[in-house]
Structure 1
Amino acid sequence: MIPKGWSSLTTDERSRGAQIKRLLDRRLAGVSRDAVATARHQIAQALEEQLAKAAEQGAQQLHVQTEPMRGVPISASLVVTVVDNIQDSSFPAAIERALGSSEGVLDHGPSQAGPYASLRRVRRVQSQDAGTDGQRRWETCVDHVIEVSDTDLLVLTFATTTDQVSGPLVLLFDAIADSLQPAPEESGGCPDSPAAPRVT
């Protein structure tokens, strides 16, 4: 389950601009546009870049922390990628695209995501993006690769650049992954067909 204070966006290029506008309108409701024009532009640009990057990884969804935690702004995101037809010859390239670099691995091994077995990896790398001070930031990433059927994998990629609370955020990321549950079967569906899991 995605925690309160997060917002969900699809990576479909056709709807990115409208989604970002709705999100910013909702989060900045009651605030003068002139007062936050620069910040609004920067946030919109950052979200556009995150969505484009997620789409390049083959992801369908991006979830981002959009509300402060205890009054402190937090950077946190979750990219959801479905890698299907894992027996196909294109699978190695698809999983490599979803997982990205193997740089900076701190921990890896078997884990659990709800009722599903998973492989978990934690990395700490320097972000490609500079902060407002022009300095590159440290980024902590947690990946869960989850086998949801004989032919499909679900890849959950969490990331934060709020380095001072990266430890608690890793615990939060793992808790979100562990909350994964099969989606209820639609009425009239075949009872023998596994329902697709959901994280929203």
Structure 2
Amino acid sequence: MEKMKDQWIQNWNEELNQDLKHKTLRRALVENDLSKIAIKQERASLNTFRFSKEIETLPVTNQEKTGRCWIMAGLNFIRERIAKKYNLQEFEFSQNYIAFYDKLEKVNYFIESIDDFLNCEKDDRTLQHILSVGIQDGGQWDMFVSLVEKYGLVPKDAMIETKVSSQTYPLNKIINTKLRQYTAKAREIGNVSQLASLKNKP
């Protein structure tokens, strides 16, 4: 394999500096997103999104700035059948309701997982993985099924979307900070039998 040479870089630099197109693109990239500059508009105009067959469905749902796509997909699958059964033009289940219990279950799983790592080295790879990942929005079908079977479903009116539920990054950050603080205190105690009061602390 031939190594990079300083002369190559110098030659490329000189060549680019003499290229008018490069200068124009460089100026454009200062204030614009690369993906928008790189798009071929003549190709994009061909994407008309018209289809020969339209499938009748309820209006789309919006996951906003969250990772709840799996919850949306699961609820949409069910709501189509509910709407058809009861002849509803519009209907949504509460995505916030399922997402709340998903977070509750994930927090509980995290706390219970830490019980197995009270006395290990602080740089234990599994412990570090648990702490670095924390809880997130993501999930999959089997998790959705488990949540529905355990907690049921409610209409959207019963638990509406909020600013917090539609932009989950700040909430996740706070929860993960608290979980890491819990881990530090739990490891200080170092005994599972003495953690009950800490786990139940508001």
TM bucket normalised to smaller: under 0.3
More helix by share: 2
Report the TM-score when normalising by structure 1: 0.22
For CA contacts below 8 A with separation 6 or more, give which structure has more relative contact order.
2
Higher radius of gyration, 1 or 2: 2
Structure with a larger share of its residues in strand: 1
TM-score between both structures, scaled by the size of structure 2: 0.22
